[in-house]
Amino acid sequence: MIFIRTILLIVVLGFNIQNSFAELNIEITKGIESATPLAIVPFGSDSAPVDVSGVVNADLERSGYFKMLDEQAMPNQPSTASAINFKEWQGLGQNYMVIGQVLSTGPGQYSVQFQLFDVYKSSQILGYKMSSSSADLRKAAHYISDLIFEKLTGKKGVFGGRIAYVTSNVQRVHQVQVADADGYNPQTIASSIEPLMSPAWSPDGKKLAYVSFERKAAAIYIQTLSSGERVKVAEFPGINGAPSWSPDGTRLALTLSKDGSPDIYVLNLSSRGLTKLSKSMAIDTEPSWSPDGNSVVFTSNRGGNPQIYIVSSQGGQEKRLTFSGSYNASASFSPDGRNLVMVQGNGNNYSIAVMDMGSHAVNAITSGPNDESPSFAPNGSMILYASKKGRVGFLSAVSLDGRMQQKLVLNSGEVRDPSWAP
């Protein structure tokens, strides 16, 4: 059971999985059938070090919302509006097209501009121009993807975001890493020959909290990404696990067993004072805050099987939320608070499911069999989670409605414990 394995990972000092600390490769495993035809014409460029239009094309294709036109099928490659023959593109069945330019403005500096056109109306619906250093051209490309995605879908894009995850290799070296949302630019935040787990982003995206066994016992650290400075905030006897930031960044919810059985506590990061939220002789773990900071959901097996409970972040009566299925764990809220994602078990099959907080209806959006650790994207439309096939662990992402799915795999090895940056 995933729930029991989570507890064992907290108290056992070793596990053995492979990893290569490389970039994540993303493949679409399921797209939206009604995807909108979109052409990203290669941008005009004077030897820019990054293929900006290629990055934009890859971003939007991975979203599953768009059917991208292959470059080989394009009748021409205009880089200015005056050069577009809309009838040619209408004949190809394209709803929208994007053109642009990446031009050098000085050593290591570029001007990046693009235009989005409605092909059938023969009119521009979006345009933007920005300056970028050579080092930030990929970031500029992701920003363009976000702008186009929001314009065409009405939903905020997440292409410019970041993800955190944990890798481990056969040499028993464990690393917390941060990468762009498309798997590029991986950076090692922490490394240890002892296990590292449960990275959690601060609300401002500047810090990570995580669990480390580097001193042969579990401790929770907070690390500032820009400087590498870190502070140990919890090293009580027994379990110190599953850190979760409050929405205002002033507190951490965490699992501690210092008084006996594992319970949910809230740690005030300024005073270091502790507030005990759950009170049972069962295993209470995996806390996560509601977006308004008023409540904390957590997993407990007090009823015999793991289920999701909710309690006020100030303490009080604990209320059971899940009744559908014999196993529900690892819950967290969508950014708008309308949905709760969780791992739902059925026999030996563990899949990702979503509960509507209004109706409490639960809908499974993946098929399993070994899915765990779900994390919402900042726009609430995608869920990142860990999965496993045989002994190979990888990350996957699925849309909230389950219609779009993609897999994020290291070139060789495994990855787990994903967390999407705010």
> For residue range 212-249, what is the model confidence (pLDDT) as tens digits?
999 889 999 999 999 999 999 999 999 999 999 999 99
Ramachandran angles phi, psi of 82, nearest 5°:
-65, -20
Does residue 3 register a pLDDT over 60? no
Ramachandran angles phi, psi of 276, nearest 5°:
-85, 125
Domains of the chain: 2-21+169-420 (2.120.10.30), 33-153 (3.40.50.10070)
Spatial distance between the Cα atoms of 113 and 293, rounded to a whole number of angstroms: 40
Strands 96-106 and 44-45: parallel
Count CB-CB contacts under 10 A for residue 291: 14
Sheet holding 251-256, edge to edge: 240-245, 251-256, 263-268, 274-276
Does residue 14 register a pLDDT over 60? no
| DSSP per-residue string spanning 18-76 | -----PEEEEEEE--TTPEEEEEPPPEESS-SS-HHHHHHHHHHHTSSEEEPPGGG-S-
Under the banding of pLDDT at 50, 70 and 90, the label for residue 404 is: confident
- Extract the tokens encoding 341: 């994602």
What share of residues in the chain are helix, strand, coil (percent, to 5)?
A: 15, 45, 40
Can you tell me whether residue 208 is helix, strand or coil? strand
Q: Which of 166, 206, 212 is nearest to 186 (CA)?
A: 166
137: left (phi over 0), alpha (psi -120 to 50) or beta: alpha
- Please say whether the dihedral angle defined by the alpha carbons of residues 6, 11, 16 and 17, taken in this order, is positive or negative: positive
Please enumerate in sequence order all residues whose Cβ is within 8 A of that of 290, keeping only pairs 6 or more positions apart, or say none.
296, 297, 313, 333, 337
Does residue 112 register a pLDDT over 70? yes
Question: Do 179 and 24 touch, CB atoms closer than 8 A?
Answer: yes
What pLDDT score does 228 carry? 94
- Please say whether the dihedral angle defined by the alpha carbons of residues 168, 169, 172 and 176, taken in this order, is positive or negative: negative
Sheet holding 339-346, edge to edge: 327-333, 339-346, 349-356, 362-364
Angle, helices 52-62/137-153, rounded to nearest 10 degrees? 40
Does residue 285 register a pLDDT over 70? yes
- Mean pLDDT over 400-413 rounds to 76
> For residue range 179-207, what is the model confidence (pLDDT) as tens digits?
999 889 999 999 999 999 999 999 999 99
Statement: the pTM of the whole predicted model exceeds 0.85: yes
What pLDDT score does 28 carry? 64
Greater confidence (233 vs 29) lies with 233
Spatial distance between the Cα atoms of 416 and 175, rounded to a whole number of angstroms: 11
Spatial distance between the Cα atoms of 200 and 203, rounded to a whole number of angstroms: 9
Greater confidence (381 vs 85) lies with 85
- Please say whether the dihedral angle defined by the alpha carbons of residues 297, 301, 302 and 304, taken in this order, is positive or negative: positive
Under the banding of pLDDT at 50, 70 and 90, the label for residue 168 is: confident
Count CB-CB contacts under 10 A for residue 162: 18
Does residue 411 register a pLDDT over 50? yes
Percent of the chain with pLDDT over 70: 91
- H-helix or E-strand spanning residue 88: helix 86-91
Query: Among 2-16, 23-37, 208-222, which is the least confidently predicted range?
Result: 2-16
How far are the Cα atoms of 74, 75, 79, 134, 365 from residue 91, in angstroms, in the given order?
11, 10, 19, 37, 37
What pLDDT score does 17 carry? 30
What pLDDT score does 7 carry? 46
What pLDDT score does 12 carry? 36
Does residue 11 register a pLDDT over 50? no
Percent of the chain with pLDDT over 90: 78
Does residue 40 register a pLDDT over 50? yes
> For residue range 309-335, what is the model confidence (pLDDT) as tens digits?
999 999 999 999 999 889 999 999 999
Query: Among 148-162, 250-264, 286-300, 382-396, which is the least confidently predicted range?
Result: 382-396
Q: Which of 290, 282, 276 is nearest to 306 (CA)?
A: 282
Strands 36-40 and 96-106: parallel
What pLDDT score does 10 carry? 39
Spatial distance between the Cα atoms of 87 and 89, rounded to a whole number of angstroms: 5
Please enumerate in sequence order all residues whose Cβ is within 8 A of that of 121, keeping only pairs 6 or more positions apart, or say none.
none
